[in-house]
A = this chain, B = another copy of it.
């Protein structure tokens, strides 16, 4: 992982603390990425044991969120960071909240793999798995942009989320047709639909993290702004 151009600190200990907390966020990201991969593996293979591993593993993700958040508060109180150091802490604090919610999405996907009703909809699960792999690549690239605080990549990823949204809309249409053709399938298809929605939400969370990266590097809050405005902020 590249070193950041953080301000030189009088305290080498402070530098070490910032470096440590960045590593912990990336480790949390790695864990969430594995949870997402495994939840999709469980779905693809209808592997109830693996699904249960994912569901039980969520408490680790939650624990990491709480611990990192606590460390953020401790650093603010003890080190009184300003400028880019403070932005780093804020970026981390917001990022872990989205990572935790991606963890919740993994649980939802895994639940579809143990659900007897959803199991009867095997062909539908395939298209969700494919969208899920797309979301996994997005998460991986987002964590990569976070590790390097790469603002151009963050912007590109933010824009790309529209593709995942279109894929999701296609799946919803497919699920709708399926239900209309065979109304008895409705309960099972709805379980699949919740899993599809969970995957789509992973993309939204990644988009949020990309916004935090832009905030850290450019010092500008780009939430709720248009791509034109965002692009201006990034070029300047």
Contacts and interface: CB of A to CB of B under 8 A. Distances in A.
A192 B223 CA distance: 28
Contact of A180 (B184, B221, B224): B184
Most buried by B among A66, A81, A224: A224
B69 A221 contact: yes
A81 B86 CA distance: 13
A115 interface: no
B180 A176 contact: no
A223 B69 CA distance: 11
Contacts of A97: 94, 97
Nearest to A79: B80
Q: What does DSSP make chain A's interface, helix, strand, loop or mixed?
A: helix
Given A86-B77, A90-B73, A62 B186 contact: no
Contact of A183 (B63, B66, B90, B180): B180
A190 B174 CA distance: 13
Given A62-B223, A221-B70, A86 B90 contact: no
A59 interface: yes
Given A62-B224, A66-B221, A224-B59, A186 B190 contact: no
Interface of A: 59, 62-63, 65-66, 69-70, 73, 76-77, 80-83, 86-87, 90, 94, 97, 172, 176, 179-180, 183-184, 186-187, 190, 221, 223-224
Contacts of A223: 62, 65-66
A7 B63 CA distance: 30
Given A73-B90, A80-B80, A86-B73, A187 B183 contact: no
Contacts of A62: 223-224
A11 to B, nearest CB: 15
A190 B190 CA distance: 10
